[in-house]
Structure 1
């Protein structure tokens, strides 16, 4: 199944919301939208596309009602999601964790385009396996530009058959958080200031 979500935030009005497929979105406050599942997704073979536009002078907070559970289908274990973020105002994107369950494999990609007035906080957290599970694979890529100038190219692999996968111990959970133009904040992970402004915090461990 393919699911599409479009969120457009404009100054002095409520966000525009368009949804199709297994995902839905609901406005829960003046500047807040929660994502929720209308059906089980992503299953193996599913694709998800989310486009978020925040115009200059607008503010949008995006949350999720629950964790995202990635599961295999009867025909394949692979699923995909793509996020397209165009930000000239202020975006705060912080969803509940993604759990890669049942030996499934999921690839996520985020493309962020910031304008000169854009401000952003994008936080992503992932857990390989439910209780008692250690199999599964996730990869996430973040491609961020500010006014057409490269800000960040960041990619993480987590789980079975990755470079970091080792019998003696390997991470099965990660948290990444990008902030711009803020150059530092308190975080349990490592915070790196970026050359073009903003900062990236990363953490990896056994469990979230």
Structure 2
């Protein structure tokens, strides 16, 4: 199944929303939108596409109503989520964690286009496995540009078959947080200032 969501935030107006498939979006406050599952997704073979546009002068808080749980499908264990984000205003993007359950393999790609005057906080939280599980795999890629120039190229793998996989001890959870234009943020992770402005915080451990 393919799920598509488009959210456009414009100054002085409620966010405009379009959705189809197993994922919907609901406005919960004047500048806040929550993503809501309308079907069990992502299963193996599913693809989720979310496009977010925050126009100049607009503000948007984007959340999710619950954690995302990925599961293997009948034919394949792989599922995909693609985020396309364009920010000229202010965006606070902080969905609930993604739990990569059983032997599922989930791939997340985020492509961010920032205007120089844009402001963003983008947090991603991943947990490999429910209680007693560790066979899942997750790969996350973030490409961030500012006014067309590269700001960040970032990729993380977790779980079975990842570069950090180890039978004795390996991280099964991570939190990645991008801030712009702030060069420092109070987070639980290690903060790295970026050459083009903003900062990236990363944390890894066993459980969120």
TM range (shorter): over 0.9
- How far 1:186 sits from its partner (Å)? 1.4
- How far 1:109 sits from its partner (Å)? 0.1
Gaps of 5+ in 1: none
SS at match of 1:11: coil
CA distance in 1, matches of 2:22, 2:149: 35
CA distance in 2, matches of 1:188, 1:10: 33
**Which residue is 1:127 aligned to?**
127
CA RMSD of aligned residues (A): 0.5
**Which residue is 1:108 aligned to?**
108
CA distance in 2, matches of 1:106, 1:198: 28
- How far 1:185 sits from its partner (Å)? 1.3
Gaps of 5+ in 2: none
Cα distance per residue 1:32-73 (max 9 Å; x no partner): 000010000000000010000000000000000000000011
SS at match of 1:169: coil
Whether 1:65 aligns to 2:65 is yes
CA distance in 1, matches of 2:112, 2:12: 23
**Which residue is 1:143 aligned to?**
143
Whether 1:191 aligns to 2:200 is no
Cα distance per residue 1:167-194 (max 9 Å; x no partner): 2200000000000000101111100000
- How far 1:134 sits from its partner (Å)? 0.8
Whether 1:166 aligns to 2:166 is yes
- How far 1:12 sits from its partner (Å)? 0.3
SS at match of 1:188: coil
SS at match of 2:203: strand
- TM-score w.r.t. the length of structure 2 is 0.99
Runs of 4+ in structure 1 deviating by more than 2 angstroms, as ranges, are: none
SS at match of 1:152: strand
**Which residue is 2:76 aligned to?**
76
CA distance in 2, matches of 1:122, 1:188: 15
Paired residue total:
208
- How far 1:86 sits from its partner (Å)? 0.4
CA distance in 1, matches of 2:24, 2:158: 28
- TM-score w.r.t. the length of structure 1 is 0.99
